[in-house]
């Protein structure tokens, strides 16, 4: 089987179309970054509080908003999370709801606001830690244990908590469910309603980032991207000629700009893992560029008479089959990640999906034309083209 046999497309002849395409997307992204959505930093970078709540019944977002407003929280963002059937809600608080003294005050306020009709002297089983359950059991001693009580009740408490979290997905709907829990003693199941009540929600994930860390991380992410680009430039300059390094870095910068622009245009948050994806793309997009460059270097030796633009075109065509196949296969795996990898990895896989498309396009449409344009410019100025054959072979 073979998809590309003897293709001969004049890629360099279409460079103005490519330029227009790239300009439109870069400029649109840049405008969005500057004037519209700006850079939608995720909680890792801007600081703030994210509380993920699972409800026993379909959540009423309006009621949640009223409760949070009453608790005096500044402008909480409330949105459904993941599939609607899971009854999950993400509550997003501004960084103002954290303080140096009590980093988690926003989270505490949310939990208090959501708890309603709390019976006196009872603890919410859906938000109780296994330690709280154990302390209750130690007090109550439903199994009438003499010695060893500490260890046994710790195990019982853990069995209750893990049944709630791992089997029921975070919330008990009724105390009857306890009877079916593995490893939970019937006397414990019977005693628990005496000390606990059931709210209709459980917190299953919390992310709180103070303002200091956010700023620090933004600097680090910027530096990491910069160092990555410099690393590429140095390595390619060493392996090829410096102009190859420059062309590759400009290409990668173009890819990064368009990817970040796409996040800004769609207002998708850039988390730490998205930055990881972007750095991976810097490496990946370079792969494509290097494969084409390697072929150009090889062909320059073989085709001494031909014009550079001819050589470059031929090189792109020769490697086209490989470029499309690899990009296609990597894209396939990344697409699986995007479709089946779950909510947590959504931003990460989105960055990879966009980046792989752009990275493949740019190695053909940006990197090679820069190389040719530079040589044409040198010839026009009356200089000799830079010696092309690679020195490090």
Contacting another protein within 68-107 (CB under 8 A): 100-101, 103-104
What number of other Cβ atoms are within 10 A of residue 67's Cβ? Answer: 18
198 binds another protein (CB under 8 A): no
Cβ proximity to another protein, 32 vs 286, nearer residue:
286
At 328, give phi and psi (nearest 5°): -60, -45
Interacting residue with another protein among 66, 183, 216, 267 (CB under 8 A)? 216
Q: Which stretch binds another protein (CB under 8 A): 9-17, 185-193, 345-353, 377-385?
A: 345-353
CB 393, min distance to another protein, A: 7
Residue of 7, 23, 63, 332 that binds another protein (CB under 8 A) = 332
Q: Name the nearest CA neighbour of 123 among 107, 109, 111, 106.
A: 111
Query: Toward another protein, which CB reaches closer, 279 or 373?
Result: 279
Residues numbered 110 to 149 that lie near another protein (CB under 8 A) are: 128-132, 135
Segment interacting with another protein, rule: CB under 8 A, options 13-21, 118-126, 164-172, 255-263: 164-172
**Interacting span for another protein (CB under 8 A) from 63-71, 176-184, 203-211, 255-263:** 203-211
Query: Closest approach of Cβ 344 to another protein, in Å?
Result: 5
Q: Which of residues 276-295 bind another protein (CB under 8 A)?
A: 276, 279-280, 282-284, 286-287, 290-291, 294
**Segment 218-277, which members bind another protein (CB under 8 A)?**
220-221, 223-224, 227-228, 231-232, 235-236, 239, 272-273, 275-276
Q: Least distance from C-beta 216 to another protein, angstroms?
A: 7
Q: Which of 301-309, 313-321, 365-373, 374-382 is the region at the interface with another protein (rule: CB under 8 A)?
A: 313-321
């Amino acid at each position: 089987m073979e998809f590309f046999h003897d293709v001969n497309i004049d890629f360099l002849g279409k460079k103005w179309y490519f330029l227009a395409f790239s300009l439109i997307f870069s400029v649109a992204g840049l405008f969005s970054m500057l004037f519209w959505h700006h850079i939608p930093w995720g909680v890792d970078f801007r600081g703030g509080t994210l509380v993920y709540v699972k409800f026993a019944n379909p959540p009423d977002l309006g009621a949640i908003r009223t409760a949070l407003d009453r608790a005096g929280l500044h402008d909480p963002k409330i949105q459904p999370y993941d599939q609607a059937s899971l009854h999950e809600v993400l509550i997003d608080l501004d960084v103002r709801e954290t303080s140096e003294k009590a980093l988690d005050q926003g989270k505490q306020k949310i939990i208090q606001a959501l708890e309603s009709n709390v019976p006196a002297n009872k603890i919410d089983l859906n938000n109780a830690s296994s330690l709280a359950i154990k302390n209750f059991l130690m007090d109550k001693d439903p199994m009438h244990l003499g010695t060893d009580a500490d260890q046994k009740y710790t195990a019982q408490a853990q069995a209750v908590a893990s049944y709630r979290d791992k089997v029921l997905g975070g919330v008990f709907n009724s105390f009857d469910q306890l009877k079916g829990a593995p490893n939970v003693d019937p006397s414990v199941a019977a005693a628990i309603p005496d000390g606990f009540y059931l709210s209709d929600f459980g917190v299953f994930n919390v992310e709180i980032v103070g303002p200091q860390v956010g700023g620090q991380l933004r600097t680090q992410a910027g530096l990491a991207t910069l160092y990555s680009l410099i690393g590429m430039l140095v390595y390619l300059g060493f392996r090829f000629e410096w102009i190859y390094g420059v062309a590759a870095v400009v290409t990668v910068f173009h890819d990064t700009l368009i990817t970040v622009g796409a996040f800004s245009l769609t207002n998708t948050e850039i988390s730490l893992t998205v930055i990881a994806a972007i750095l991976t793309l810097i490496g990946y997009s370079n792969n494509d560029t290097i494969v084409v460059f390697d072929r150009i270097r090889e062909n320059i030796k073989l085709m001494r008479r031909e014009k550079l633009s001819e050589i470059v075109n031929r090189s792109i065509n020769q490697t086209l089959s490989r470029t499309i196949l690899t990009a296609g296969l990597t894209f396939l795996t990344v697409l699986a990640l995007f479709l089946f990898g779950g909510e947590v990895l959504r931003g990460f896989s989105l960055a990879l999906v966009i980046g792989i498309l752009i990275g493949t396009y740019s190695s053909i449409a940006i990197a090679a034309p820069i190389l040719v344009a530079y040589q044409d410019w040198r010839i026009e100025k009356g200089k000799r083209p830079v010696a092309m054959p690679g020195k490090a072979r």
